[in-house]
A and B are shown apart, each in its own frame.
Chain A
Amino acid sequence: MSDIKALNEAVIKGDIQTAVSLTQNAVDAGKKAQEILDQGLIAAMDKVGEKFASGEMFVPQMLRSAKAMQECMKLIKPQFQEGDLTSKGKVVIGTVKGDLHDIGKNLVAMMMEGAGFTITDLGVDVSADTFVQKAQEIEPDILAMSALLSTTMPGMRETIETLQKAGIKDKVMVMIGGAPVTANFASEIKADAYAPDAGSAVIEAKKVLGIT
């Protein structure tokens, strides 16, 4: 079995120790960092995503795989030149104003990171102004908002209106999700994408950015 294939399997299993040592071996053997990343790590996370979607894997197992990938990334990151590391896209994410719940949002952030996106997590109780300010500063591909309470959902509309006022609504894809959110609500407030759960957040994110 090639090292890359073994690395692939270690990440899927969530075996952090083995994954890290296989990555180190590959780096020491002079394997290209991009190859380790694409074939070893991202391919593994794609498989994890599939297995999770089909119900073969549970959330903690998926998150362990994501953690294994992150640990491996620490080893190969220095191999990349500044700006060389390809990311699926930049994502700014947060729970809207008035809402202090973060489990769902954290899940989405971890899954997207595992899928190769670069995440900036603004935390909970994020105001429309903060979302817009960060969007201007970071220039993300996706701005993702979460709400657990139906009483805090209006924060999503407010953020989109503030993006419009700032003239940057067209420069970023707005994605929303959370227990009370529906596809109808998303189109009503002119969000670009809606994901009902963490698993589909990755799929929707890729879809709006045109990544296969």
Chain B
Amino acid sequence: MRQMQDLQLLKRKRCSALPETLNIANKERIMKPLEIPTFQPRLKVLNRDQALAIHASALEILDKTGFRMEHPGAREMLVDAGCLILNNNWLRMPSYLVQNALRSAPTQITLYDQKGNKTIPLTNGNPFYGTGSDATFTLDLETGERRRAVKKDVGNFARLVDGLENISFAMSMGNPEDVPIENIYVYVFAEMVKNTNKPIVFIADSGKDIAKIYDIACQVAGSEDALQRKPFILNYSEAISPLRFPENVMERLMFCAEKKIPVCFPSGSNAGGGAPVTLAGAMALGIAENLVGLVVHQLVGKGSPFLFGPNVSTLDMKSSVVSYGCPEWSLTQAALADMRDEIYGLPIWAFAGASDAKVMDAQAGAEAMFSIITALLSRSNLIHDVGFLEYGSTSCLEMVTMANELISMSRFFAEGIPVTDQTLAFEAIERVAKGEPGSIFLTDDHTFENFMQSLFLPQLLDRSRYDSWKSAGAMDFYNRCNLETKRILSEHQVIPKPDEVLKRIDEILQNL
């Protein structure tokens, strides 16, 4: 009690910046104390020297080892810009080309939803989560069985994304076996557009199918100009580590640069697989590959939006799969966020909410949470792959629903602890402590007025008492996520596209 009074005295002293007399004479015009800014917990894993050394190594790779550019047009353009020909397809890149590209690429990328609302401002370390793409299998929502993905699954994932607050963009989550394989990416794009109005990150195979996807996107946005002003799409493309740039990959990248479609270009420079087993070297290689993409991209479309960052996971040393649940990937992308802040200034691409587990079990939950919270704490920007199981081979609807809750939990943590008169709650403490017998905080007005914003209120994580949990069916987390997913898919209404837009999309599909 005595301590509390002392604290109040202290606080009063701090607040009375004006002379007492003036204070009394003119109460309304009192100068208010400065608010204490809230520190938002933040993870850092590299110091400036480490960041600069990795960057320097990436530049050295490009200048000394060079890279294999298989697109003749891109090769010619790079040589004109100052690259040196090593032999055949191999080029060397002087570092000033990288500096130029970093200068012209925009530091801020904004994605809009399909209605033209600004929903993903990728700036200031703002994090947004979304699903992944191209999984071969999915876990069936009804039977739990692992089976090949079909077109309807792509639609279901998009609809689920549309209905979940913390999942901000959609990817296909599947390569369906029931659509013509030569235009698979056009079909999955159309399926996503029909089932969500959120932004879409899409894949294409070459310059051919990406043009069709672009046509569909223009129909949705209203016109080419409208799409350029308020892009709702971002293209995901990858080079092949180490240092190989296939022709079809470059076709897509150059198409996007020309049309100002935002892109990311993360090669799979996985430690021990496409890249050296040590994480610093794997990052340097992946960044070097990303920089080649950036340079070509900026030469084709100066100022076109480019989301930075490689995917640096690990090759598992027993199974040789690329891990989606390992701590290394989270660590390298946190390091990349530091490099963004120290050097690049471009928003970055990241992953989270995935697992190597084969079913949505405790391993899946642990691995998903690990990557979700570290991606948030390190302020990664566009965070994909939410909902993957089996090292990205299998998609799982319930995983996405679970991740939605885990992201809420992580966001709550990352917002920190606001320290104000209201949150210090001195008066409430005094009322309850000194109040009538039986005074409790639960009945105090302060609690009623503040609990909603002060506490994390879980929706799916279970805190019920044992007996009520048991009588409600003794359901585990997986089963609760299953039910919630089914509920969303049956109840959530996606605002439909106008009939004429749907008609034009179907015409595009028919004329493939």
Contacts and interface: CB of A to CB of B under 8 A. Distances in A.
A107 interface: yes
Interface residues of B, number: 20
Given A103-B320, A179-B393, A150 B175 contact: yes
A129 interface: no
Given A58-B317, A197-B319, A151 B244 contact: no
Nearest to A154: B181
Interface string B185-220: 000000000000000000001000000000000000
Contacts of A104: 320
Contacts of B320: 59, 103-104, 107, 197-198
A123 interface: no
Interface string A125-162: 00000000000000000000000011100100000000
Given A100-B244, A179-B393, A150 B134 contact: yes
Interface in B268-318: 272-274, 277, 315, 317-318
Nearest to A102: B240
Contact of B136 (A100, A150, A154, A197): A150
B317 A60 contact: yes
B318 A55 contact: yes
Contacts of B321: 179
A100 B268 CA distance: 13
B249 to A, nearest CB: 9
Contacts of B246: 100
Interface in A14-57: 55
B393 A180 contact: yes
Given A100-B246, A101-B240, A103-B274, A151 B318 contact: no
A104 B136 CA distance: 17
B397 to A, nearest CB: 19
B273 A180 contact: no
B315 A103 contact: yes
Contacts of B318: 55, 58-59
B184 interface: yes
Interface string B163-189: 000000000000100000100100000
B184 A151 contact: yes
A63 B435 CA distance: 75
B136 A180 contact: yes
B240 A179 contact: no
Nearest to A103: B273
Nearest to B248: A98
Interface string B434-468: 00000000000000000000000000000000000
A151 B182 CA distance: 8
A199 to B, nearest CB: 9
Nearest to A52: B318
A179 B317 contact: no
A59 B175 CA distance: 30
B88 to A, nearest CB: 16
| Size band of the interface chain A makes with B | 10 to 19
Contacts of B244: 100
A17 B320 CA distance: 27
Contacts of B240: 100-101
Contacts of B317: 58-60
Contacts of B175: 150-151, 180
A58 to B, nearest CB: 4
Nearest to A55: B318
Contact of B205 (A101, A151, A154): A151
Most buried by A among B273, B317, B318: B318
Nearest to A60: B317
Contacts of B134: 149-150
Contacts of A149: 134
B144 to A, nearest CB: 18
Nearest to B317: A58
Given A59-B317, A197-B320, A151 B274 contact: no
A73 to B, nearest CB: 24
Contacts of B273: 103
Contacts of A60: 272, 277, 317
Nearest to B175: A150
Contacts of A198: 320
A103 B316 CA distance: 13
A205 B102 CA distance: 51
A151 B181 contact: yes
A36 to B, nearest CB: 30
Contacts of A103: 273-274, 315, 320
A91 B317 CA distance: 25
A150 B319 CA distance: 20
Interface string B385-425: 00000000100000000000000000000000000000000
B181 A179 contact: no
Interface string A177-212: 001100000000000000001100000000000000
A102 to B, nearest CB: 9
Contacts of A58: 317-318
Contacts of B393: 179-180
A88 B323 CA distance: 33
Contacts of B319: 197
A60 to B, nearest CB: 7
Contacts of B277: 60
A154 B180 CA distance: 11
Contacts of A180: 136, 175, 393
B273 to A, nearest CB: 6
Nearest to B316: A59
Given A101-B240, A151-B175, A151-B205, A179 B315 contact: no
28 contacts: A55-B318, A58-B317, A58-B318, A59-B315, A59-B317, A59-B320, A60-B272, A60-B317, A100-B240, A100-B244, A100-B246, A103-B273, A103-B274, A103-B315, A103-B320, A104-B320, A107-B320, A149-B134, A150-B175, A151-B175, A151-B181, A154-B181, A179-B136, A179-B321, A179-B393, A180-B175, A180-B393, A198-B320
Given A59-B318, A101-B240, A151-B181, 5 more contacts: A55-B318, A59-B317, A60-B277, A60-B317, A107-B320
Q: Which 3 A-B pairs have the closest CB atoms?
A: A180-B136, A58-B317, A150-B175
